[in-house]
Chain A
């Protein structure tokens, strides 16, 4: 503390310690908040097409449109940077007990509207099955999940309350989808 530089160093180190403590306190104020929210998903115009993967194997390609309603505004607090939301299709085939395919996702930033109301959205990513597991599969479940990206603390993965279950037709479509 007897020279200018040692004083500057002490003040800076003390400020950083306080900042670290405040960041941890900020995490503590948000750690116990409820992160589950209601989600409403509906799908229309299901179709399935026979195609091949890039390795030449048989594959089913599913297609549909979906509507999505969810109010995720309450998930934003002072410890939230952004939300990463993604739509997962889960189904069972004779090959695999559980298949999970992420078919759509979106980043919601702090400044944007998180009261979601999407209509007639096409999945962003192709819905492939590595075989013939989509044709006539009557139990495909869509769920919305989200990661809450914090300033400090945990990166929770949350499953939304609410899902949609639908089936694919028993005939391949010949149309381009």
Chain B
């Protein structure tokens, strides 16, 4: 599984939302067009085929993590140096660690 795990599949949060909007729009559009076309030529199977084409197209566009879905990466904090969290002298070690974390988040 090492090879499979090395393939990047990750999208950032904005990209996930965009991907969902894109495939929903594509499939609904193909569904509407297929419905009209199937009604015109009196073949429901044409509707199913066109919807299937929409499925394939949205798979191609939204399954792989294309660069457009990775434009807004989450800005992670830099790892803190151990030395910067200096425990205040009067508190215990545990509570000092907690207050240090809280400080990180608020920054």
Chain A residues proximal to chain B, CB less than 8 Å: 1-4, 7-8, 10-12, 14-15, 18-19, 21-23, 25-26, 29, 76-79, 151
Determine the chain A residues whose CB is within 8 A of the CB of B11 once the complex forms: 1-2
- Cα A22 to Cα B16 in complex, Å, equals 27
B27 touches A1 (CB 8 A): no
- Report the count of interface residues on B (CB-CB < 8 A): 29
Q: Is B38 a contact partner of A78 (Cβ separation < 8 A)?
A: yes
- Whether, in the assembled complex, B24 has its beta carbon less than 8 Å from a beta carbon of chain A, the answer is yes
Given pairs A4-B63, A11-B59, A12-B55, 4 additional interface contacts (CB within 8 A): A2-B10, A18-B27, A18-B31, A76-B42
When distances are taken between beta carbons in the complex, the residues of chain A under 8 Å from B27 are 11, 14-15, 18
Q: How far is the CA of A76 from the CA of B44 in the complex (A)?
A: 12
A78 touches B42 (CB 8 A): yes
A15 to B42, CA, bound (A): 22
For the complex, is B72 an interface residue (Cβ under 8 Å from A)?
no
Asked whether A8 lies within 8 Å of B63 as measured between CB atoms, the reply is: yes
Shortest A32–chain B CB gap in Å is 15
User: How far apart sit A21 and B64, CA to CA, in the bound complex (Å)?
Assistant: 28
Write out the residue numbers on chain B whose beta carbons fall within 8 Å of the beta carbon of A29.
Answer: 39
- A1–B31 contact, CB under 8 A? no
Q: Are B16 and A26 in contact (CB-based, < 8 A)?
A: no
How distant is A99 from chain B, measured CB to nearest CB, in Å? 40
Interface residues of B in 30-68 (CB under 8 A from A): 31, 34-35, 38-39, 42-44, 47-48, 51-52, 54-55, 58-59, 62-64
Residues of chain A within 8 A (CB-CB) of B64 are 4
B11 CB, min distance to chain A CBs, angstroms: 7
Chain A residues lying within 8 Å of B35, measured Cβ to Cβ, are 22, 25-26
CB of B18 to closest CB in A, whole Å? 10
Question: A1-B11, A7-B19, A26-B38 given as contacts; is B58 within 8 A of A78 (CB)?
Answer: no
Complex Cα gap A7–B35 (Å): 25
